[in-house]
Amino acid sequence: MATFIVLLGPPGVGKGTQAKILAETTKLAHVSSGDLFRENLKNQTELGRLAKSFMDKGELVPDDVTISMIRDRITRSDCGAGAILDGFPRTPIQADALEKMLAEFNGEVKAVPFITAPESTLVERASGRWTCREQGHIYHQIFSPPKKIGICDMDGSDLYQRDDDKVEMVTKRIRVYLEQTMPLVEYYRKAGKLLEIDGTQAVEQVTKELLSALYK
């Protein structure tokens, strides 16, 4: 059975960083809905243009287009054994759609690590974040700077600051998260899948706790 791990948590908590590490460790694919939207934006697809109008406001892209984008992505062969889902699902409708999709392909949500941190930490992290243009590797100007300013250590591509990582936008995204995504915490807790992780700790410590919670 294909194994899917859903990473849940507010914007700026470190989901993307942990998802990349987890994907390397578990050899599962890393599927980030935000990265997929940004890729569509870069390639100027119709989906990219539609998504941009919501992303620019810090709002969620409508469920139907988001669900069909993820469906296309997780039916690709690299997700045959499963995937680390980063940023999806973000609403109860998306979570229900995921259950239905996985039932079709003989997959299951195995666990849902829920990474938390206070709002001040989230704003500080997101507003200092630099993202690699090529593959989405993540840096922080103070906590994890690249070796060379503006250049990704991993693939040498440019680093840029996401428009939606400006302080006011991060605050708006946190509000959207509290209203629309928080209900998923209870959804997955009831299903016995929620693993709570303290995201204020150093990256390595969060990874360690994630791995031991997943494989205990």
15, 20, 38, 193: which is the annotated catalytic residue?
Answer: 15
Using CB atoms, what's the residue nearest to ligand AMP? Answer: 34
The amino acid that residue 55 corresponds to is: M
| Residue 68: both structure tokens together | 């069909």
Count CB atoms within 10 A of the CB of residue 99.
16
User: Which is nearer to ligand AMP, 23 or 55 (by Cβ)?
Assistant: 55
110, 162, 166, 172: which is the annotated catalytic residue?
Answer: 162
Q: Which residues bind ligand AMP (CB under 6 A)?
A: 11, 33-34, 37, 54-55, 58-61, 66, 87-88, 90, 94, 164, 173
73 a catalytic residue? no
38 a catalytic residue? no
20, 38, 73, 173: which is the annotated catalytic residue?
Answer: 173
173 a catalytic residue? yes
153 by Cβ neighbours in 10 Å (0-12 / 13-18 / 19+) ranks as middle
User: Which is nearer to ligand AMP, 36 or 194 (by Cβ)?
Assistant: 36
Q: How far is the CB of 60 from ligand AMP (least distance, A)?
A: 4
193 and 112 in contact (C-beta within 8 Å)? Answer: yes
**CB contact set of 208 (below 8 Å; sequence gap of 6+):** none
200 and 206 in contact (C-beta within 8 Å)? Answer: no
User: Which is nearer to ligand AMP, 1 or 167 (by Cβ)?
Assistant: 167
User: Which is nearer to ligand AMP, 110 or 172 (by Cβ)?
Assistant: 172
Q: How far is the CB of 212 from ligand AMP (least distance, A)?
A: 25
20, 90, 125, 193: which is the annotated catalytic residue?
Answer: 90
CA atoms within 13 A on the CB side of 77: 0
Q: How far is the CB of 28 from ligand AMP (least distance, A)?
A: 18
Q: How far is the CB of 216 from ligand AMP (least distance, A)?
A: 27
Q: How far is the CB of 215 from ligand AMP (least distance, A)?
A: 25
Give the residue numbers marked as catalytic. 15, 90, 129, 162, 173
